[in-house]
Amino acid sequence: MVDVTVNNNVVIIKGDITNIDDFEKIKSIIEPLKNKKELVIEIIDSVYITSSLIGYLYKLKEKDEVDLIIKIAKNELKEVFEDLNLLEVFKVETL
């Protein structure tokens, strides 16, 4: 299970994002923040990301017009975003 904390407009996700429960937890925490102009999401431990979470983040960016910056600690996860051509869509950075 992931641990999700919020500090102003920064959402910090610790642990592996592996299943729908992780996605639901992350979504429930981000959803009230979507009125902010910019959100920074720091993914500390995970080398995985669910397709549900990718879809939700894409919706936040495109439909809700939230400027997203995703900071990733693990190179394996950065490669996933790169393979999906999402590095620039989500402004993916290395932690």
What pLDDT does residue 49 have? 94
In total, how many domains does the chain have?
1
Residue 10, domain CATH: 3.30.750.24
What distance in Å separates the CA atoms of residue 65 and residue 39, rounded to the nearest whole number? 11
Give the Å distances, CA to CA, from 18 to 11, 15, 68. Answer: 18, 9, 21
Q: With contact defined as beta carbons under 8 Å apart, do 16 and 47 qualify? A: yes
Percent of the chain's residues with pLDDT above 70: 100
d(CA 47, CA 15): 9
DSSP symbol at 32: G
Domain with 86 in it: 3-94
User: Quick one: average pLDDT of 30-44?
Assistant: 94
Strand, coil or helix: what is 1? coil
